[in-house]
Amino acid sequence: MNAIARPPIAQTPIAQPPAELPSLDQNAWSPLKQRQQATWASGDYAVIGVTLQIVGERLAEAADIRAGERVLDVAAGNGNATLAAARRFARVTAADYVPQLLERGAARARAEGLAVEFRVADAEALPFADASFDVALSSFGVMFAADPRAAAGELLRVVRPGGRIALACWTPAGFIGELLRIVAELVPPPAGAASPLAWGTESRLVELFGPAAADIRSQRREFVFRYRSPEHWLQVFRDFYGPTHKAFAALDEAGGGRLADNILALLQRRNRAADGTLVLPGEYLEAVIARA
């Protein structure tokens, strides 16, 4: 059998140590945005983020990523959609307002030898020129923006006419939707905060993107959470997932106990495993918006 000659993988400088990823000026942010950024900087979302990698792969396929395309991953976290696009030989930039998460994404990219640019950036004020990208992605990221209209406007601005915007967003009726409502019962969100779960509805996407879209296509998908037990899931999310980590930190012992009991009841009710482990489907909306 003849060996097949493989072209070398082009490499460009990848994000380096923390000092090269500066923080944004929070003095220019609203109190709501400062609070949200602090939430996602707490815990260590990367521990959970890596378990969601399959969503990034599906999203890259839904967006029909092509080799050589300019791709922006907005609110990239630790880089699931970023890595998926880079594995398809796209020219990828990952942007997030939590430098620590970009550092984790950069480490993953270096481990795979993937060429990715990492930029500290606010989804509501992206530091890129108009029509800079062929595709914009966001996997459970931009849906948490403080100002949904500003974030949607920025996605539309930086994607060229004829380009695509591909999003994965938790739905209101799904597991994460119910989880966030349980958290809000004991730790209410700030006054005036828009529900991130609205991004997981077709009507909201039409409202945000419809006037500038040539086409919007969506489908409901499931990500299956697989943990050793409901208690294991609770411990991991209590320690590492920003919204639940911050919620437990804000409650006294009695309140924390009530929140833990309510979450465990949810996990047990939605768990489809009968062997003591946790196998729990979480519904999300996968959408691709074709830019007019």
- pTM, 2 dp: 0.90
- Within-domain flag for 6: no
Q: What is the pLDDT of residues 107-124, one digit of tens each?
A: 999 999 999 999 999 999
Q: Looking at the chain, how many residues does it have?
A: 292
Residue 17 has what pLDDT? 34
Residue 27: pLDDT band with limits 50, 70, 90 = low
| C-alpha 60, offset from chain centre | 13
Q: Are 105 and 78 in contact (CB under 8 A)?
A: yes
Q: Is 74 left (phi over 0), alpha (psi -120 to 50) or beta?
A: beta
Residue 31 has what pLDDT? 84
Neighbours of 263 (CB within 10 A): 22
Q: Which domain holds residue 53?
A: 28-223+282-291
CA distance 51 to 66: 25
- Within-domain flag for 83: yes
- Within-domain flag for 120: yes
- Within-domain flag for 154: yes
Domain CATH for 193: 3.40.50.150
- Within-domain flag for 197: yes
Q: Helices marked H in 10-167 — which ranges?
A: 31-41, 45-49, 53-62, 80-87, 99-112, 148-158
Identify which of 76, 139, 72, 138 has the alpha carbon closest to the alpha carbon of residue 104: 76
Distances (CA, A) of 63 to 59, 73, 167: 6, 12, 9
H-run or E-run covering 116: strand 116-120
Q: What is the pLDDT of residues 140-189, one digit of tens each?
A: 999 999 999 999 999 999 999 999 999 999 999 999 999 999 999 999 98
- Within-domain flag for 137: yes
- Within-domain flag for 180: yes
What is the pLDDT averaged over residues 57-73? 98
How many structural domains comprise the chain? 1
